[in-house]
């Protein structure tokens, strides 16, 4: 995981293969977010991956090896990460360079904007096929950012959406050629880098009250 600053924009690059969520992943992301939050001057945040994956969701193999109490604490931490992204004090955009599945797509949905490559890669909520129910916080994150009809289709069918389909349904804001994904995401947040951070957070909290009540609650 690497955090770079290009003028007013921080770019967080996830670079660990499938970028699956485990305790190290959460710690590293939160440390990067801490650095952005404590920075001075205008700022915005873009997250992206490398290669075939933006993120393939929870590290289920790792999670299966944890004690139930530790698994619960970890999943609460995932909820808190989604909440943190929903109300992050700077503008945020996910540059979805490849597959974004399950919690990986939910993380992208928690950003203000999403850009996806048009030619290859899918976003998907595959829990119906994995036999894994969504936690309330996960459902709340999806509902907060997607039209109800689209959320229903994505959750109930487990459909994989390519870039064009995802754009048409409002899952992403733009689907562009691979070489343009990161630059388009940066262009979306650049004009917002100078916005007041306290006001940004307050306005976002007002938008997502029902989701935050679930996500920020210790389960």
Residue 55, φ and ψ in degrees, nearest 5: -165, 140
* Residue 217's pLDDT band (cuts 50, 70, 90): confident
CA distance 12 to 21: 15
pLDDT tens for 43-69 read 999 999 999 999 999 999 999 999 999
CA distance 66 to 94: 29
Number of structural domains in the chain: 1
Q: In CATH, what number is assigned to the domain containing residue 128? A: 3.90.226.10
**CA 33 vs CA 11, 39, 46, 146, 176: distances in Å:** 11, 10, 11, 24, 26
**Mean pLDDT throughout 86-102?**
98
Q: Domain of 121?
A: 2-215
**Predicted TM-score of the model (pTM):** 0.96
pLDDT tens for 112-146 read 999 999 999 999 999 999 999 999 999 999 999 99
**Is the confidence at residue 180, as pLDDT, over 90?**
yes
């Amino acid at each position: 995981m690497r955090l770079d600053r290009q003028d007013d924009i921080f770019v967080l690059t996830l670079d660990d293969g499938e970028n699956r969520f485990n305790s190290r992943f959460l710690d590293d992301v939160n440390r990067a977010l801490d650095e952005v939050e404590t920075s001075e001057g205008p700022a915005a945040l873009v997250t992206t991956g490398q290669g075939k994956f933006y993120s393939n969701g929870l590290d289920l193999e790792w999670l299966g090896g944890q004690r139930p109490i530790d698994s619960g604490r970890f999943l609460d931490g995932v909820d808190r990460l989604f909440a943190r992204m929903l109300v992050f004090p700077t503008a945020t955009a996910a540059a979805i360079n490849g597959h974004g599945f399950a919690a990986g797509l939910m993380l992208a949905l928690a950003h203000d904007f999403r850009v996806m490559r048009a030619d290859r890669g899918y976003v998907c909520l595959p829990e119906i096929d994995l036999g894994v129910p969504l936690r309330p916080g996960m459902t709340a994150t999806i509902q907060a950012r997607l039209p109800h009809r689209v959320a229903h289709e994505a959750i109930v069918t487990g459909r994989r959406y390519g870039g064009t389909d995802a754009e048409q349904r409002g899952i992403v804001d733009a689907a562009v050629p691979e070489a343009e994904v990161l630059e388009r995401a940066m262009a979306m947040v650049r004009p917002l880098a100078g916005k007041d951070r306290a006001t940004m957070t307050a306005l976002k909290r007002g938008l997502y009250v029902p989701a935050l009540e679930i996500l920020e609650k210790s389960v």
